[in-house]
Amino acid sequence: MSEEQIKELEIQFEARIARDEKIEPKDWMPEKYRQTHIRQMSQHAHSEIIGMLPEGNWITRAPTLRRKVALLAKVQDEGGHGLYLYSATETLGITRDELLEQLHTGKAKYSSIFNYPAISWADMGAIGWLVDGAAIINQIALCGASYGPYARAMVRICKEESFHQRQGYEILVTLMKGTQEQKNMAQDALNRFWWPSLMMFGPTDAESPHTAQSMKWKLKRKTNDDLRQQFIDQTVPQAELIGLTIPDSDLKWNEEKQQYDSGEINWDEFWQVVKGHGPCNKERMKARIAAHENGQWVRDAAMAYAEKKEKRKTNK
Ligand code: FAQ
């Protein structure tokens, strides 16, 4: 294709984005648009799959049968989200094997939040309330993303995340109605998960290399800072309602802006975790790679079955 033809296609593509049309897998798209989507969507998929680990660890220790069933369903949902997102990413011309290879070799990132340990039952409440709460705010914006398969996956995922968020909040509501020890557990979980949850939204807009372009392509519909602020404004009253204290001494309602002012995030900690030096990075990758290797026989069996079926079809 000549340079002129590519320019013309780019103009038509930008016009489609401006008209809020969805871009579909077989449509022409700039190579950078494709690569940016592969990067973000696959990192999102990896986050869902790695995100099963901290909660998966608590399924056998859930305090009641009801809690166990809900947690089990939630963790399965996260696995399902990973699968929709891998499938959606594959529509951009990359294979599942390549995507997993990127994760297992450390080339692809996954959300920093999952490199923190879940050390008490209250952490199941904090993860559902805060981590899924942050994920929903981010993902509601992504329902309006320009790439069709990503936007459609987000609609379904958001519905499930909202159940997750409520089950997490309800765990904390229950603990906050309990003994002093249970209240302390809930507060301790909030203390440990608050700041890492704010980091989930990514670096500040000023420090984010991808936001400006992703906003132009309508991959991102809101910036990292705007989404983070929305999360703070939504979550602080929920904490207050059940008697929890947000661990930020600078947090204050700003009457003029009609939003909360809040303290500085520890960005050194964020980048350390992103670069692989968080409390659980090594443990998470080890568990993920082991799960992949242990599942080899399932993939082999599925492939053998598919091949046999194909052979039968061609022999008919
Ligand atoms: N952790 O320029 P930006 C969930 C990286 S799902 C690690 O702002 P971008 C459900 C970023 O990749 C949670 N890395 O980049 C659940 C980039 O590096 P790269 C996951 C981070 O892409 C709940 C660099 O920093 N959700 O929780 C993080 O425009 C409970 C520069 O950053 C999604 O993935 C971070 N927090 O914006 C599951 C949502 N932040 O790629 C189980 C979709 C930034 O150049 C249990 N993703 N980085 O090497 C997004 O919205 C965006 O990708 C952002 C980052 C906002 C995460």
pLDDT tens-digit profile of 208-265? Answer: 999 999 999 999 999 999 999 999 999 999 999 999 999 999 999 999 999 999 999 9
Q: Whose CA is nearest to atom 55 of ligand 1?
A: 202
| C-alpha to C-alpha distance for 3 and 9, rounded to whole angstroms | 10
Tell me the pTM. 0.96
296: tokens are: 């080899």
Instruction: Provide the 3-class DSSP secondary structure of residue 200.
Output: coil
Instruction: State the amino acid at position 80 in one-letter form.
Output: G
| C-alpha to C-alpha distance for 306 and 106, rounded to whole angstroms | 31
Q: What's the full length of the chain, in residues? A: 316
Mean of pLDDT values over 192-204: 98
- Name residue, tokens 């920093």: 112
- β strands within the chain, DSSP E: 252-254, 259-261
| C-alpha to C-alpha distance for 272 and 221, rounded to whole angstroms | 27
How many angstroms separate the Cα of 14 from the Cα of each of 7, 29, 137, 141? 11, 9, 27, 20
pLDDT at residue 316 greater than cutoff 80: no
Instruction: Provide the 3-class DSSP secondary structure of residue 20.
Output: coil
- Atom number, ligand 1, closest to the C-alpha of residue 112: 1
With bands split at pLDDT 50, 70 and 90, how would you rate the model's confidence at 84?
very high
Residues 6 or more apart whose CB falls under 8 angstroms from that of 257 comprise none
pLDDT at residue 315 greater than cutoff 90: no
pLDDT at residue 306 greater than cutoff 80: yes
Q: Who lines ligand 1 at CB under 6 A?
A: 39-40, 43-44, 47-48, 51, 78, 109, 111-112, 127, 131-132, 135, 138, 199-203, 208-211, 214, 224, 274
Gyration radius of the chain over CA positions = 21
